[in-house]
Amino acid sequence: MIATDSLARLFAEAAVEGAQPLWTMMDAMVPPRPQPKAVPHVWRYEALRPLLGRAGTLVGTQDAERRVLMLINPALAPPHTTDTLFAGLQLILPGEVAPAHRHVAFALRFIIEGDAAYTAVGGEKVTMRRGDLVLTPSWEYHDHGHEGEGPMVWLDGLDLPVYQFFPANFAQPYSEERFPSVEAASDTHLRYCWADMEARLQAEDGPYSFAEYEHKQTGGPVSRVIGAAAERIVGGGSSPTRRETAGIVYHVYKGRGFTVAGDARLEWEKGDTFCIPSWMPYRHEAAKDTYLFRYDDRPVLEAIGAYRREASAS
């Protein structure tokens, strides 16, 4: 043993070998509570919708494979809406076709505005209407088109940030603009109508109700990584206070109110989208009858044993 040995010398010599002491950064590696980098934030549809309309004039489908405005968390860089989830607003105009491709990432679409556009997924042509939830499973060819009138806008939800940690995501274009498809059956596992979800929420008594979307084929979450649900809050009512290790993206289908998330107060109305970071206590307050759509990373957290929930966190 060297008589003049020291921690500084140990650390320096370990660094030469590409090693560092864990004990000096244990709190950072294994913190006493979840440490999300995302912050609570609300994206206002009233402000973003005109910008999306301008993009429709300035950017054609030949110039952008998907015409999307990403909703980026103020504390993070693209593609992060939360630490693990991506959200974006996509616009398609009458007569347009967003060309077929496929990718490893799972995607869901929640329809905000318009009807008669479609997503063709794996050979099923799914017509979309306001409030529909439409799934795009991993590695299925899909294209979007619009055969109706007026603009169509939906919220894209993907697990893209997960692939910042697992570098396994990539996309592959199809050889033609459209993948061959036929009209989907009314009970397709790719589409979940809002009327069905609203009926489930209304069937529960009280000022607040919660219901998860269940995959029509598996009975489980809508994907292995992302889950989806909806909530109802009567005007003047509130949700329970809770916190989850899941990161959550909310969209206001109907209503107006605010959410207290940690120390932040997020005011929202119909069309707005907002996020709740992991393990942050939150509560919704409704100024009028409200319906919220949400998606989260709960399924992947459950798969690795990392999902936790407290129903009344302080």
From CA 191, how far away is CA 198, in angstroms rounded?
Answer: 15
Residue count (the chain):
314
Residue 138 lies in a domain: yes
Q: Last residue of some domain: 158, 191, 224?
A: 191
- pLDDT, residue 166, reads 85
- pLDDT, residue 180, reads 87
| Same domain flag for 225 and 99 | no
Q: What's the CATH code of the domain at 233?
A: 2.60.120.10
Q: Last residue of some domain: 191, 223, 256?
A: 191
DSSP string, the chain: --TT--HHHHHHHHHHTT---GGGSHHHHS-SS---S---EEE-HHHHHHHHHHHHHH--TTT-SS-EEE---TTS-TT-SSSS-EEEEEEE-TT-EEEEEEESS-EEEEEEE-EEEEEEETTEEEEEETT-EEEE-TT--EEEEE-SSS-EEEEEEE-GGGGGTSTT--EEE-SSSS---EEPPTT-TTEE-HHHHHHHHHTS-SSEEEEE---TTTSS-SSSS-EEEEEEE-TT-BPPPBEESS-EEEEEEE-EEEEEETTEEEEEETT-EEEE-TT--EEEEESS-EEEEEEESHHHHHHTT---EETT--
- 23 class by beta-carbon count within 10 Å (0-12 exposed, 13-18 middle, 19+ buried): exposed
- pLDDT, residue 314, reads 43
| Same domain flag for 222 and 160 | no
| Same domain flag for 61 and 122 | yes
Record the pTM: 0.93
| Same domain flag for 217 and 299 | yes
| Same domain flag for 166 and 204 | no
pLDDT in tens, the chain (314 residues): 556 899 999 999 999 999 999 999 988 888 989 999 999 999 999 999 999 999 999 998 777 778 999 999 999 999 999 999 999 999 999 999 888 899 999 999 999 999 889 999 999 999 999 999 999 999 999 999 999 899 999 999 999 999 988 888 888 888 888 888 989 999 999 999 999 999 999 999 999 999 999 999 999 999 999 999 999 999 999 999 999 999 999 999 999 999 999 999 999 999 999 999 999 999 999 999 999 999 999 999 999 999 999 987 44
From CA 219, how far away is CA 221, in angstroms rounded?
Answer: 7
| Cis before 79 (ω within 30) | yes
| Same domain flag for 157 and 268 | no
| Same domain flag for 157 and 207 | no
Q: Please name the helix (run of DSSP H) or strand (run of DSSP E) that holds residue 86, with its range, or none.
A: strand 86-92
Per the structure, the count of domains in the chain is 2
- pLDDT, residue 231, reads 98
Which domain does 204 fall in, by range? 194-310
- pLDDT, residue 305, reads 97
- pLDDT, residue 313, reads 44
Residue 18 lies in a domain: no
CB 105 within 8 A of CB 84: no
| Same domain flag for 143 and 209 | no
| Same domain flag for 163 and 237 | no
- pLDDT, residue 2, reads 57
Q: Last residue of some domain: 136, 158, 191?
A: 191
| Token digits of residue 182 | 């036929």
Residue 32 lies in a domain: no
